[in-house]
């Protein structure tokens, strides 16, 4: 309930590593997030500090991430932030910022992506194809399915 949810926009920094575990598929990769700011002295945009996060994905999200992401892809990651610290004997301590991903995808502000719905293993019958609606014309002026125009039009209400 009191988890820290974050949304980061950055680039995939490492190749996603996919593993089949006892609890189901899991994948991890690193994402680099670089702040940009306007440098008034140079009158141009400049890069700030880069933060790196390890992104963990599970189950179907892991399978889809491993199949869809590659190094350099612009991504949007939403998930739970976990900051870990560890010390080992004889070594300096270190910190790691991890994100347990809930949702992730390509950043469409920086490019295009072709979405393909993943097939579930228990899915046997394909859904019936439905035609796309015609968004170009209003429902009143479009012909009926049998090719004839609508015969009854609504009349305006008269208020006295």
Low-confidence ranges of the chain (pLDDT < 70): 1, 120-128, 130, 132-160
Q: 96 and 54 in contact (C-beta within 8 Å)? A: yes
Question: Could you tell me the end-to-end alpha-carbon distance of the chain, in angstroms, rounded to an integer?
Answer: 57
Q: 34 and 108 in contact (C-beta within 8 Å)? A: no
Mean of per-residue pLDDT scores for the chain: 83
Report pLDDT for 129. Answer: 72
Per residue in 35-67, pLDDT tens?
A: 989 999 999 999 999 999 999 999 999 999 999
């Amino acid at each position: 309930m009191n988890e820290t949810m974050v949304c980061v926009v950055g680039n995939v920094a490492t190749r996603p590593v996919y593993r089949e575990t006892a609890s189901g598929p899991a994948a991890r990769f690193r994402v680099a997030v670089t702040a940009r700011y306007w440098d008034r002295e140079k009158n141009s945009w400049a890069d700030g500090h880069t933060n790196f996060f390890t992104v963990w994905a599970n189950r179907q999200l892991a399978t889809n991430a491993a199949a869809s992401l590659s190094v350099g892809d612009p991504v949007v990651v939403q998930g739970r932030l976990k900051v870990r610290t560890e010390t080992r004997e004889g070594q300096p301590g270190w910190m790691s910022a991890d994100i347990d991903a809930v949702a992730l995808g390509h950043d469409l502000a920086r490019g295009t992506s072709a979405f393909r719905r993943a097939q579930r293993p228990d899915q046997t019958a394909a859904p019936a194809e439905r035609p796309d609606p015609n968004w170009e014309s209003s429902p009143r002026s479009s012909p009926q399915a049998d090719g004839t125009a609508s015969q009854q039009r609504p009349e305006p209400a008269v208020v006295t």
